[in-house]
């Protein structure tokens, strides 16, 4: 189950999200469904087509069964399959 | 196994299930390139954290080109020589599973 605590290690694809802060002012306020993820980017599906948004320096608000979880983009700036290992290691220190 | 690896595997398994459902949905809608991408994510997770994929999932994607196999749409299923033969219509790769009589 995706919860507030483990969301940063969990699957982001398929969730609705909003860009709260970004280094590019044009991208602030974009919201939509996340359809793909790469090392540096999250890809949003909005009404105006697909938007690629840099994770670095951004903040995202995810909708998780009527709850809202805010995450910093720097915390999830890894490859999608390496996020679990990297983040668990940091927690143990 | 220490708790960290156990937890990592648990999360990886949950993510694999979510991605498989999404890949099936996208495949049925016809976004095959996106479905292929989700299968790629799913296989990366399983290889990184050593989570074994069950047969029900393994039968539904192509090991060569990672595309999702939906019978009648992206794959052809035949019974030949006491084997189930599944052909990927994207790359032409065959999978064969024997069945008992």
Inter-chain touch A36–B11, beta carbons under 8 Å: no
> Which residue on chain B is closest to A8 by alpha carbon?
B11
Q: What angle do CA B76, B23, A57 make, to 5 degrees?
A: 150
Structurally, chain B folds into a number of domains equal to 1
Quote the pTM value: 0.87
Helices (H), chain A: 83-92
CATH superfamily of A7-92: Ribonuclease P/MRP, subunit p29 (2.30.30.210)
The nearest CA of chain A is from the CA of B53 a distance in Å of 16
For range B12-20, the mean pLDDT? 91
Question: How many CB pairs lie under 8 A apart between chains A and B?
Answer: 41
Q: Which helix (H) or strand (E) holds A13?
A: none
Q: What are the pLDDT digits (tens) for A15-38?
A: 899 999 999 899 898 989 999 999
Q: Is the ipTM beyond the 0.90 threshold?
A: no
Closest C-alpha to A51, from A59, A60, A42: A42
**Domain that residue B43 falls in:** 3-98
Q: Do A14 and B44 touch (CB under 8 A)?
A: no
Instruction: Name the band, by pLDDT with cuts 50, 70 and 90, for residue B101.
Output: low
Give phi and psi for B20, each to the nearest 5.
Answer: -65, -45
């Amino acid at each position: 189950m995706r919860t507030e605590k483990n969301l940063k290690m969990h699957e982001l694809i398929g969730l609705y999200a909003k860009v709260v802060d970004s280094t590019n002012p044009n991208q602030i306020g974009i919201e939509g469904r996340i359809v793909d993820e790469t090392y540096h980017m999250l890809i949003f599906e909005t009404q105006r087509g697909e938007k690629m948004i840099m994770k670095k320096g951004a903040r995202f608000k995810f909708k998780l069964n009527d709850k809202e979880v805010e995450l910093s983009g720097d915390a999830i700036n890894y490859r999608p399959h390496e996020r679990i290992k990297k983040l668990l290691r940091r927690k143990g220190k | 196994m220490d708790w960290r690896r156990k937890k990592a595997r648990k999360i990886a398994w949950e993510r694999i299930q979510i991605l498989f459902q999404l890949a099936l949905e996208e495949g049925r809608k016809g976004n095959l390139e996106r479905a292929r991408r989700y299968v790629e994510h799913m296989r990366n997770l399983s290889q990184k954290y050593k989570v074994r994929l069950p047969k029900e999932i393994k039968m539904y994607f192509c090991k060569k080109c990672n595309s999702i196999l939906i019978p009648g749409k992206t794959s052809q299923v035949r019974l030949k020589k006491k084997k189930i033969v599944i052909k990927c219509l994207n790359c032409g790769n065959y999978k064969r599973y024997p069945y008992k009589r």
